[in-house]
Structures are given as C-alpha cells and as structure tokens.
Structure 1
C-alpha cells in the first residue's frame, strides 16, 4: 500500500502540469480513504507494463495510462539502449491515426534527439509494416511505432523495433526493459519540442523513396503470378477500407501499381480518423467493421472487398459467392490460402539445395502443417506474436539450406516476403488478389485445399477481464487447468489425449515435449484431442483478455466439394459445443 501511495504522490508535484497534479491529489485522497481498486484508482497505482511487445493501454493521466510521461519514459529507456548499441544511432518513428499518436511520436523524437540520436520521422500516418521496412531501408539502429493496432479509440501504444526491423527479441529485449524500468524520476525525461534547435537539427522527415523502394522489392519478391495477364488484373473490381487508419494511400497506390486499377475506397472510412466513427472496433476480424465495405461491394458488383486495421498490419477479405452475396474468410482460411498457393508454387519448381520454411503459431490451424507436410516444406511452430516469426526469419538469414517462404497467425496477420519483419497487410493483399486473379474463385480454391489436405474449422473466444480482479481471474483459470488431470477426460465427442503447458514445459499423455523445442516459456496451455483437434488457452500479451482457440479436423474426409458444406456445419457445431465445455472446465463460463 505504501508503494502505491508513493506512485500516486509522485504525480502530485513537478514535472506534472497543475491540472494533472490536482487530479492525482484527488486520487490520493480517495485511496487513503480506502478506495483501492477501480479503473480510475488503478490508473495511478498499477504501472503500464513495457513488455517484449512494447506497451499498450488507455490514454489518460497516471503511471498506468498512455500519456506524454509514460511514453517519454519508454522513449528514454530505448534511447539509452540505442546510444549504448552504436556511436551514431538512427531511430525511425512512425505513427497511426489514433488520438495523440502524432504528439506521442514527437515526444519520442524529442527524447531521442536530446540524446544526440538522428531521428527519421514519418510526416504523415504510416502502416506498421512500412516502419519495419524503413528500419532496414535506412539501416537504422531501431524503430518505434505509436499504435494500439485494432483497439478502441481510447487506447494507444508504443512498439519498439530492433535493427533488422523486428520487434524486441532476446537478448536485447531484457536490456531495453531494464533500462526503461530504471527510470524512477520523472524529471530525468528531457522533452524537446519540434521548435527546439536540437530537434530541428536531428529530426528529419522520412522520404517518399522509402515506399517507392518497398514497391521495387515487392516486384522482385516472386509473389506476382506469371499466369495472370494485365487484362485479367484490370478486370478485377475491388473495394478497400483502411477503417479510418493508415492504409488508404499506400494500399491503393500498391494495387494500382501492380495493375489493379479498379479499386474503390469506402468513402466513409478512407480518411485517417482516430475516433473510428463508423465502427465499434476498427478490426477486420469483426464482421460489423466490414459492413460498409460489403454494402459498397454489393452496390458496384465488386469481386471482393478487403479491409485493414488502423496500423495496416492485419488484413480481412470478403469474396463474392455463387449466390451473388459475399462470404467472409477468417484469418486461418486467408493464411491457409496464401500458404497453400506459395507451397504449391515452390514445390512445382523447387530451389536446388534450399528447402522452403513455413512458420505458424501454436494457435494457428494445423491445416497449414498438413499443407507443409504434403508439399515437403519444413514447418516451424512458434508462440503467438509475430516477433517469434521474425526471430525464425533472422535465423534463416544465416541458413544455407533453408529459406523463409511464409509466416502467419490466425489473427489476420501474414507475411509472404523476406524484406519486412512484421505482419504486412500490403504484401499480403497483393498476394491474395493475385491468387484471386489466377484461381478466379477463392471459395472454390479453399474447398480444393480442404479436399487435398483435410477439412479443418477453427474458433476463437475472447473474454475481457479488466483490472486487478480480471488479472486474478485469468491466473486462477489457468492454474485450475494445470492442477486437474485432464488426460482421458471427454469434452463433447472427443477425448483429451495430450496436455501441453508451455510455461513449465510439461507434456502429458500423447503430447510430446518436442512441441517446446526452441520456444521460450509462455503462459499457454494446449489440450490435444482425438482426431487432430486442439484447444488452446492463453492470456493476451497486449490487452486485458483471455483467449481460447479451437482447431478441429473433420473425422470424415470429404471426397467431393458438395460434401464440404454439411461436414463443415457438423464440425462447427461440435467445435462450439466443445468450446463451451472447455470454458466451463476453466471456470470462465
């Protein structure tokens, strides 16, 4: 309690503005009278954690919120790392369309400039994958993007990148986190305004050459289909929504440059707007967020519509079906289409002496494992988070017998190129529309994949549990699963055959410890069920949520396309029933 009081007290004096000091005094008074919980109190008593994915939280005052001081503290720790790393460090900074993103970017630039660091700052909103690319392009020491991805408008975040354009990874992650945690005095943070001479000298604008070079690298990447003519591309009618985020200019230019001239932006959502006024959540995973894209597609007869989240790293799609309506594909399906297309392409013309590697997360569909196996690709399973995919890519850079082909996760993030080290909606969108142009019908191609590799369906349940009480409920739930012997227990129509605890690296039943090979410890539990089915539970690393992932393979293999709808319905019904039972078992019902 004494520590919490000190945290609040530190905000009642300089360097904080008078208005913030008054708010902190009011919070301190309430705390001393016994009000020790609730979001307003916890804004001052529960520090915003900086982890390997950076930090993300609600915007507001206090040590537990995103504000110029908590951003300044993160920027200070990261700047101290950069000046230790090299004599002439360079930092690239980008930001999205959210509330205060530009201001936070300028705070970060000013703190870095105060340390003599050269800063390359995007002058307008820019996609996260372009920041990853820019770090590599400018040969920078690190990068920062101010974004809270697909969270609601009251959130923002700070994501840091290393010299290869990848998110923080060992051993640098612990060094950076330690340097940030060592900042105990708020007066240590030196803020430079954009008008300061040192700021003007060291902070320069990112040029148009960066994206121009990205497009050149994309042309050389090998993802453009040789079977599609310019006429084929010009015929395809697309609708695109950046969901009020950063993608508008970049996606349209990219698609136009590659021959897709018939691209219509959703007018209500084309401009950057951090209030996200037309959607509940600016997330292409949410059907509601795609409603305006579908409406416009129906009006103009589009072949497909695509949408990206505010920082343009995630990608969703709806494709015209045989009934004339539109079918939304989920993240596992989109990833499997891209994986299968690339796998079939390289297996038809293999590189001599080099084996392609497909990288997926442990919660992504095992359909992709079957795709890799049948096409004789190497498969690497990693923990959730694109930083782990980037880590594999870094190792493959030095590998003479293997090369990176594709990486993806079920949460609508994919990467089909080697020159970016984070999920990239731009290159993924190009590849996806190339597959559409070549195959003509993505739904039929998805069915081809099911017939060839196996029929899978997936589910995701996400429960929001905020504050200290929520954190405790999440931990209690995971602990109860660890303490129960689940092997042999029946969930729905399938028995639990294997149990994997990625935290203690415990494997029970038929599960193998090889699943942990090369992976760090993580608070993830996975149940293996009969007939190639899995249930996975993990707390989110960036939000106050616990997530339950399901991946089930049909025990009846479809022999023809007409059998797929009935088997899919049966499989989804089974999956939902099992999911509900698992939630009950975990004490989350």
Structure 2
C-alpha cells in the first residue's frame, strides 16, 4: 500500500498538477502531520458523495479529486449504454469557494465522455438540482456543496435518476470505478471537453420550479388575509436561497419581507458566521437585529445550499426562541392536516414519512388525524423510496416528509429536502396561526397540551485523523457488545441493530427483522417509551447520538431527556454533561 509520502511525491512530480497546487504542497514538505492528513488516505465515496476541506491532496476537495469522482460517475453511465449518456447529467453548485470551478470541471469530464450535460448558469438551491434530474429525465445529477459546514469545506453530492441521492449499490459502483482510475492519467484534460453537449439552464427552469413550489400551498388565503400584519425577516446565510425564496414569498402575498442585507449576497467566506447553520442561534444574530427594528415576530434562515431551514420566533415574553427541527416538523404536520381538514380537503389515503431519529410526536399527530406514518432510516433517499413505492402502486397521497435535522419535503417534483417549499409553508403557517391570534411558539405549546410532551436532544463525538474511521468502528462495536439493561432507570425493552437487521424484544427474547435496509445504526427503546439512537455520520468523521424522550409534563420530558443523556454518557465512559451538540 502506498504511504502518504509516496503519494505526496507523486503529486509533486506530476506534470498534470498546476503550479499553484505544487507551491501549496512544497510549503508543507516538513509538516508530517498535515501531509498525513492530506495524503494518508483518500476520500471515501459513499451515498452522501464526498465532503472534506479544500486543498491539495488525495483527502481534500480540489479540481483533481472532483474530476476523478466525476470520472467514476462517467464510467458508470457509460456502462449503462448510449441511452444513459443521452439522458445526461445536470450540474449545480452553491456559494462555497471553488464551487463554480468544480462545477465546470465536472462538465468537462462528462462531456469528454460524450455524456450530455445540463449546467445551471449560476448557483441554485439544492432541491432545484433534484427537481432538474426529474424534469429533464437525466440519469444523474451532481451538486457541489458542503451544506452547512464551515467555510473551509466543500463537497460533492450525487443524485440518481429518480432525483434522490443514490443507494449503496450505485455509490459502491462509482467508488469502484474511482479506485480503478489514476487521478492524473485516466481523467480527461479540460481541452478534451465537448461544450456542444452542454445545455445551460436558467430562467425558464426557475419559473418551472417556482410554479411547482407554489402548487404546494396548503391554505393560500392565509398570507393574503394576514398580509398587512405579517412581517418576515429572511436570510439565506450568504447562500443559494438569496433569489428563489424571496421571490416565492412575494408571490404568495408577503408584503413585508425584510432581508438581512449583509447576508443576501452569495459569499463562500460566510462573513460573521463561524458555522452557516440555521440550527444554531448564532446564525440569527443579524436577523434578530432587523426583527427588533421592524417589530417582526418571525425570522427564517436557509443553509447555504437552501435545502434546510431554521426559524426563530418570539415567545410570550417577546424574546426570540429557536424552533427545533423536530418541533417544526410537528408544527407542519399538524398545520397541513388541520388546514386541509378545515377546507374539507384532507385525503383519506394521506401519508407522511419521517426518520427513526425524529420525534415520536409525529405518531400522535398522525393517529389523531387518521394519516398513515412511515418510519425510515436517516436520509431523504429513504423518504424518497417510500414515495416511489406508493407512486408505483398508485396508492396514497404524500403529505409531508421530514427529519429532525431541519429538512422538509412536500410535493413530487423533487426527491430531497427543500428549503424553498419549507420556507413558503412556514410563512403560510405563521399567517394561519396569526389569524387565530397565535404565534408559532404558542402553536408549539398547544401541540404539547394536545398530544403530550416530547423532548429531543442530539450530540456528537468527532473522531478526526487517520485513525478516525477505526475509532468510530471500535466505539460502535463496543456499544453493540455491551447492551444496556436500563436507560434513565427504565428497563430497555427493544434493541434494534440495523446493521445486523435485527429487532430484539428484550422481555421475550424474540428476534425479528427491522423491516428497513441494512445500516450501521443502534437503537434502544425503554419501557417508558424513551429512545436512544447511535449512528456514524455519512459525511463527517463523527458519531451522532439522538435522545427522544417524553413525559406527562414538559418538566418530566426534559428530565427524562437529561437522564437518558447521562445513561448514554455512562455507556460511553464519559463524565455527565460532557456530550455536546
């Protein structure tokens, strides 16, 4: 096996490597730690594609690793025949550093293989890439984005012909083609590209997408009736939502839309944002200033590729409070069902989809409204599979899909989370509640009173470095081997190992299947219905943990969540209160 120094010297010796990259690498010649990080391994291509820091090296995002990944995609498409090549690939990107350059390099490699390319004329929200795959009938799509990671990161997301991210089988084939190609010798040079095969995508498709989003309104009159009072502060966090979301909000009748001006221009440096992530209150700092000036009760923020959305709303004391992804999912579910019922339009065959790490309040809401609910593994590709199965059988009406990490999907035009349609629905819902004299915080409290109290926490442990993957495997193996008898003082009654595809009834000893695809996920449920889940991230070197707790009161639910977290820390051999999000 090549060591990191051999790889490093091979890069420096290649006449295909540009001079700027060589200068960058020469400056690192004596930095063994950095060289090991950059050349000690290669990025692993998985169902989430690629994600890493920018820079020269086999374990970094650069034009060479991007081109090699695209070579793998191109070879897979070639193996599928001429029709697949003619169907083509649509390319998109966000506002990150090097995103347009990587986008162009993808177009060069694909067209050099005789594959048709659809290329957005500038950055677009990620859901538009997914919708584009379906609209143009493409075999695949590639989006250059690292979602809400810090500015020094970029990434590469692959979408397959249904508009969803690929299954493990497709990703494994791409990874195999990548592994059997030389990063310098086997990838077509830019001058080999055929730009006659490239079609630019612009305003016409924008209009198509906007019309699809507008068709997903649930109670269209709400915003128009509340237009004089409704005030929305909006920020794309220097990302791809800067045009599309304001345009959609204006079209549904929002009169008072206040942009966070300093964050409305796409900028991969994300100035003033340590993490451009709408999950964190710090991302709303500038938005709160404007909301206070204009007396708005609602701030909407998209992440840089506009597939997620976060919200802050005023509580009864006039203070801004973050609405979690779980809370927003529950709000949207109940709003969609209730507003449709109010109009006599709730379909008898309606269904919703959530992930196994998402709040169980959804179960109570769906039961009350007689709507079927499906639970799937983490990731919107699994939500998309449920939709595809229903469409194939001609059964069911899809109403909403979501997960706790601030992603929501409505409609059939895309097969991924959509920050554009979610922003529209949240705005419409805020108007609907305002007409009833309620804020979104009031609405959350009403849900708790109606359906019970649920509290969800998440935490993560980063394991970076060359041995990070080994450490993650070892910790997951430890958790598998040391099954807990109790969590937070309550007996564990169900243990699911999604990698082994087993669900164990601890009380009877009976073992059945999970009913879901194989995945490296562990799930423990206690006698009182609290849940703890552990799973490695698909895009970052970390293990994520989820606590899903409930109680008869808000205080009891919060106490159960804290006790579950302490039990998890005991399982991990960590001091209490040391696990952090």
Using the size of structure 2 for normalisation, the TM-score is: 0.91
Q: Specify the alignment match of 1:532 in structure 2.
A: 529
Preserved CA contact (<8 Å) 1:505 1:521: yes
Q: Specify the alignment match of 2:578 in structure 1.
A: none
SS state at 1:291 partner: helix
Name the stretch that deviates more: 501-510 or 450-459: 501-510
Pair 1:290–1:22, CA change in 2 (3 A): closer
Cα deviation for residue 173 of structure 1 reads 3.2
Cα deviation for residue 397 of structure 1 reads 1.7
Preserved CA contact (<8 Å) 2:223 2:432: no
Please show how residues 112-511 of structure 1 align to structure 2 within 5 Å.
112-169=110-167, 171-192=169-190, 198-221=193-216, 223-226=217-220, 228=222, 230-346=224-340, 349=344, 355-440=349-434, 441-487=439-485, 489=486, 491-508=487-504, 509=506
Preserved CA contact (<8 Å) 1:125 1:246: yes
Preserved CA contact (<8 Å) 1:290 1:307: yes
SS state at 2:397 partner: strand
Preserved CA contact (<8 Å) 1:82 1:89: no
Name the stretch that deviates more: 155-164 or 172-181: 172-181
- Tell me the distance in 2 between the aligned counterparts of 1:152 and 1:177: 26
- How many residue pairs align between the two structures? 564
Query: Which of 68, 72, 81 lines up with 2:67 in the alignment?
Result: 72
- Tell me the distance in 2 between the aligned counterparts of 1:513 and 1:159: 36
SS state at 1:467 partner: coil
Cα deviation for residue 61 of structure 1 reads 1.0
Cα deviation for residue 182 of structure 1 reads 2.3
- Tell me the distance in 2 between the aligned counterparts of 1:447 and 1:325: 15
Residues 364-412 of structure 1 deviation map (CA, whole Å, 9 limit, x = unaligned): 1111122222222222111111111112222222122223221101000
Q: Specify the alignment match of 1:10 in structure 2.
A: 10
SS state at 1:428 partner: helix
Residues 468-510 of structure 1 deviation map (CA, whole Å, 9 limit, x = unaligned): 34333322222121111323x2x33433222211111233315
- Tell me the distance in 2 between the aligned counterparts of 1:296 and 1:182: 53
Name the stretch that deviates more: 507-516 or 119-128: 507-516
SS state at 1:73 partner: helix
- Tell me the distance in 2 between the aligned counterparts of 1:485 and 1:328: 35
Unpaired segments ≥5 residues, structure 1: 557-566
SS state at 1:468 partner: coil
Cα deviation for residue 515 of structure 1 reads 6.8
Cα deviation for residue 247 of structure 1 reads 0.7
SS state at 1:264 partner: strand
Residues 228-284 of structure 1 deviation map (CA, whole Å, 9 limit, x = unaligned): 262413431000011111111111111001111211111121111111111110000
Cα deviation for residue 139 of structure 1 reads 2.2
SS state at 1:316 partner: strand
Cα deviation for residue 2 of structure 1 reads 4.3
Query: Which of 578, 582, 588 lines up with 2:568 in the alignment?
Result: 582
Cα deviation for residue 200 of structure 1 reads 3.5
- Tell me the distance in 1 between the aligned counterparts of 2:525 and 2:368: 22
Cα deviation for residue 22 of structure 1 reads 6.6
Residues 167-209 of structure 1 deviation map (CA, whole Å, 9 limit, x = unaligned): 112543333332223223521111326xx8x543222321211
Preserved CA contact (<8 Å) 1:238 1:302: yes
Using the size of structure 1 for normalisation, the TM-score is: 0.90
Query: Which of 558, 572, 575 lines up with 1:572 in the alignment?
Result: 558
- Tell me the distance in 2 between the aligned counterparts of 1:239 and 1:458: 27
Preserved CA contact (<8 Å) 1:486 1:499: no
- Tell me the distance in 1 between the aligned counterparts of 2:11 and 2:162: 37
Name the stretch that deviates more: 522-531 or 306-315: 522-531
SS state at 2:267 partner: coil
SS state at 1:397 partner: helix
- Tell me the distance in 2 between the aligned counterparts of 1:59 and 1:8: 16
- Tell me the distance in 1 between the aligned counterparts of 2:524 and 2:397: 31
Please show how residues 77-88 of structure 1 align to structure 2 within 5 Å.
77-85=72-80, 86-88=84-86
Residues 393-435 of structure 1 deviation map (CA, whole Å, 9 limit, x = unaligned): 2222212222322110100001122211110011011111111
- Tell me the distance in 1 between the aligned counterparts of 2:120 and 2:510: 47
Q: Specify the alignment match of 1:560 in structure 2.
A: none
Cα deviation for residue 323 of structure 1 reads 1.7
Preserved CA contact (<8 Å) 2:218 2:339: no
